[in-house]
Structure 1
Amino acid sequence: MLADGTAVPANGAAMPADGAAMLAAVGLDDRAERLYTDLVVRGAGAPAELAARCGNDLTATEAALAALAERGLIAPQRDGSARYAAAPPTVALEALLTGRRHALRQAELAAAALAEAYRTAGGDGTHRDLVEVVAGHAAIGHRVAQLQAAATEEILALVTGRYQVVRADATGAETAAVERGVRYRVVMERRALEEPDAAATLFEAMDREQQVRVVEDVPTKLIVADRTAALVPLTETRSGAEPVALVVRAPALVRVLTVLFDQTWEWAHPLGRDDGAVTVGAAPAGEPDTVDRRILALLLAGATDQSAANQLGLGLRTVQRRISRLMALARAETRIQLGWQAHRRGWVPD
C-alpha cells in the first residue's frame, strides 16, 4: 500500500484501494471504477474473465460494463471475441470532466440568479439574505453544516459551554471540510473543558490538525466561514426553549464579527496534550508582569505617567515604554481602550 491508501498491482500501475471511489464525480460507483482501472492496467477481457479478475459476480460485472460503455469509457473489441477494452483515459475521462465542469458552471449561474431573485423578492429592493433569522435546533444545525460545506479556506469558531445546538461534527460536514483542506481555528471557553467528553473531542480535533485555544470567557458563540458569512446566536438558549440565531452575510457585519474572533484568539491560550491529558500553554500575546499591573492600576486611578514613575521608582521613559507595550498587547489605540481591555482581560481588579 502507498501512503495514501492506493494499492499497487504487480506491474506498478496504481489502482484505487477498496472503497476509494475517486471517479464518483463522473458518475462511476466503486465497482465500475475498479473495473475500468483493471481494463486500463491489465488490458481487454471478456465479462466472465473480468468478473474473476475483479472478484465480482457476472451480473454485477455486466452492469458495470454497461455503465462504462454508456459513458464512452470502454468499447467491445472489433475481432468478435466479446472482449471489452478501455478507451484512453486522457480522452474519455477528459470529455466526461468537461461535461461536468459545464454542468457545474450552469448550476453556479442558476444559483446566482436564484440568490438575486431571493434578495429582491420583496419588491422593495431589500437584501433579505444579508441577515437571516433562523430558529430551532434543526434549522440552526443545518445552517452550521451549510457554512462548513461551502467553506474553501477556513472556519473560525468561538465555543462556550456544552454544545446546545449541534455536537462536534454531528453532520459529517466538518470531516468533509477538513478533507478539502479547510483550516479550523477554535477558541473554547474554559468551562467547556469540564464536559465529560471534552478531552476526546479535543484530541480528535488536534488529530485533524485543527488549532484550538482557550480563554476564561468567550463573548458569544460564533462561526465564521471564509470571512464572508457568519452565524451568531440571537438569544440565550434556556432549557426547553428553541434557540434563535442570525446568519450574517453583510460584509461590514461579518468584518466586525471576524475582528471579535481575532481579538479573542490573540489573548487565548493554546491547548495541547501530554500523556493523554489536555495541557494549556501560555498565551501567545503574553501577559503583563507585576510592574505592568501596578502601572495600570495607578493610571486607572488618575495618576500621570510622571507620578506613576515617581511612585514606582522608575524612569519616565521606562513607564511610557511599558504603557506602549501594554497598548500593543491589548490592541488598544487609546488609553481609554487600554483601560477597558485591562478590565476585560483581568489585568487589574474590578
Structure 2
Amino acid sequence: MSSAIRPRTSILDIFAVELVHMIKEAIPASDLRTHVCFYKAFPLVTPFIYGTQQRQAAFWESACLLSGLGLVEGETDPGEVDWKRVGFECVEKDGFCEHPGCGGALLDFNAEQTAKLGWSSDVSWKTLEIVRSNMGDEGEETASEEELSCIQDVECCRLFKYLRFERNSWGGAWYNAIAGHAVKDDAWLFYPARSKQTPRQQRLTRDHSLATRSFASFPVFSFIQVVFLPAPVSVANKWGVTVWDVQLEMKRGLDEDMTKKLTVFDLTDSLDITRAEEVERAFPPGTSLSAMLKSLRTRRGIQETFPLDGLEYDWYDEGYGPTFVVKINPRQVETA
C-alpha cells in the first residue's frame, strides 16, 4: 500500500528550525542588510528566532548603531524610535542602492568604522560613546580638552563627496517655492556614472534615508564646526551629528551674500592649495582669482562653480571645538 508524499511547500520543509537559528547566529550583528533580508525570508519562524518584542527592540537598536545610523528630523529621543522599522526601511529603500556613497558601500564603511571604535554587538544608546565637546548642550558631561585635542584618526562619511544643492540663479526660498519643492529637499546626490544629472530624482532626504541617517564622522561627535566657505557653521546633536544635521546647517547659509567675506585664502584653503604654482595648475590658464571671487556671491554659487569634494577633519580648536572643512574641486565638470 503506497502512501502519498506530502509536497515540500516551504523552506522549513528543507531546513530545520534549529538550522535556521544557526544561520541567524552566524550573521554578524553589524550586517544590517543581511539580517533584514534573512528576517523577511523566513517570516514563519524569524519572529521567534529573534526573540521577544523586547529582545528584538534591543537587537535592532544595536544593529542600526553598528551600521552607523543615528537620528533625523523630528527625532529627539532614540528610546522613542522604532529601530526595527528604521532598519527595515533603510535596507528596503537603500540597502541595494547603486550610488557609491550609499547602499552596501555605505553600510560596509559604517560597520568598519564602528568596529574600529570597538562597538560590540550589545551596544545601545545608553552605552554609546559619543565625543562631547564643551561647546555642546549645557549639563552634558564633556570630554576634557586634552582628550579632544588628541583626537587624530577621524573618518568622515564619504557621502559628502557627492553632496550637492539645487542650482539657483534667482535666489533662495523664492526660487524653491517657484520650483515646487521644499527647502529640506534642496540637497541631492551627484551620480558620477551619469552623464546627465536629474536633481529632482536624486534627492538626499527623500531618496536616500540610509545616507541621511548615517553619522557624519567616526568617532561620533555631539558638536562640530564645519568650515563652508568662508565661515564655519555650527552643527549640534546630543545623540551624534549625522549627515542630516550637517547638510541642514549648510543649507541655512546657502544664499547669504559672500561678496565681502570670501577671500583668496578661503578659496585656496578649501582647495587644499598652499603654493602659487599649485594655484596656477588648479585653474584654467588666465584665470583671475580676484574676478572669480567677485562673481561668487553666495555659497550656492560657489558650489555650482566648484563641486563639493568631501568633508575633512582639520583640527580641534578650544574656542570652536572639533572643526571640519568642506573641500571643493576646481576641475570636476558636472552637467545637471
Question: Does TM-score exceed 0.5, indicating one fold?
Answer: no
Name the one with the larger helix percent: 1
Answer 1 or 2: higher relative contact order, Cα 8 Å, separation at least 6.
Answer: 2
